[in-house]
A = this chain, B = another copy of it.
Amino acid sequence: MSDFDLDSFIPYRLAVLAGKVSREFSQHYSQRFGISRAEWRVVAHLSAAGPASVGEIHQRVDMDKSRVSRAASRLEKVGLLTKEEHPVDGRLVKLSLTEAGEAMMQELEEVANAYQAELLARLGPEGDALFASVERLGEREDT
């Protein structure tokens, strides 16, 4: 026996909570739109920021290059985005949502906003504090 309490250990609580919230939310879109979490992130980023390269998404969205690349290929195959060669630097690939992709994101956005509202309602006034904390812990020491 010891005095260590797993329930008050931040990494554990965050992992459990993040897993729960992520599962809960993915139920709102995975079957309905047939995309994975990785694909959802790529679509969401493209929708918010416009066309981007694999590397840009990799840096912005906490997924490594290979995962972004695979997600993009799958999304292309399903007709949700297109790949074009960058005009000046042939190594870069420009990913853009197709109309179908934009349309799907339109619906996804509503789903996401509704879920976010639900979470904020559960949180009440403490919502801001959660955000501030997440922001603070998420700051990168590296770079």
Chain A contacts to B: CB under 8 angstroms: 1-6, 8-22, 24-25, 41, 44-45, 47-50, 61-62, 102, 105-106, 109, 112-113, 115-116, 119-120, 122-124, 126-127, 129-134, 136-139
Given the interface contacts A2-B48, A47-B4, does A137 sit within 8 Å of B109 by beta carbon?
no
User: Closest 6 CB pairs between A and B?
Assistant: A129-B129, A18-B18, A130-B133, A14-B18, A16-B62, A11-B25
| Protomer copies | 2
Q: 10 A-B contacts, Cβ less than 8 Å apart?
A: A2-B47, A4-B47, A5-B48, A6-B44, A6-B48, A14-B18, A16-B62, A17-B138, A130-B134, A133-B133
Query: Nearest chain B CB to A5's CB is how many angstroms away?
Result: 6
Report the separation of the CA atoms of residues A45 and B15 in the bound assembly, to the nearest whole angstrom.
16
Cross-chain contact B127 with A133 (CB below 8 angstroms): yes
- CB-nearest residue of chain B to A13: B134
